[in-house]
A = this chain, B = another copy of it.
């Protein structure tokens, strides 16, 4: 039977992210400054430009696009774990415009913050590493049986 190692909840921060900065980079910088290696987070707010995309499951590449227009961050959730020893962000988001129309996907840089509030929960326990997965072509956490 598989065994999972539980995390315990560490520090929790509610932080206003800085105007006109890249969203992904802001989270990674926050983690460096606060020495966070493992975390989950949720963000609401607004951005002035977006870069999002989806993974082409056949070709095994990300397809991305950029829009230099204002959007609400209707939802943004993700996690921070290690890749090559460094904390990296994996985030998905749904953005909405003034008509309520939405765009969603995997969040990339450059996505510029207008105003954003992050709720980030540090998790304490063994750091989680991303390694290359042959089947999907993605960098994933190890399966629990390994």
Which residues of A does B touch, CB under 8 Å? 1-2, 4, 6-9, 11-16, 18-19, 33-34, 38, 40, 42, 44, 46, 48, 52-58, 63, 65, 70-75, 77-79, 81, 90-106, 114-115, 117, 119, 122-123, 128, 133, 135-136, 138, 140-144
With beta carbons under 8 angstroms apart, the residue of B54, B73, B100, B117 that contacts A98 is B54
Closest to A71 in B: B54
With beta carbons under 8 angstroms apart, the residue of B6, B65, B91, B96 that contacts A104 is B96
Q: How far is the CA of A106 from the CA of B75 in the complex (A)?
A: 10
Say how many copies of this protein the assembly contains.
3
Q: Which residues of B contact A56 (CB under 8 A)?
A: 70, 98
With beta carbons under 8 angstroms apart, the residue of B94, B97, B141, B142 that contacts A96 is B94
With beta carbons under 8 angstroms apart, the residue of B53, B57, B117, B141 that contacts A48 is B57
Q: A14-B141, A44-B92, A54-B98 are in contact. List 19 more A-B contacts (CB 8 A).
A: A1-B33, A6-B11, A15-B141, A15-B144, A19-B136, A42-B77, A44-B90, A46-B54, A53-B98, A54-B100, A56-B98, A72-B105, A75-B75, A75-B104, A79-B117, A94-B102, A96-B104, A100-B105, A114-B136
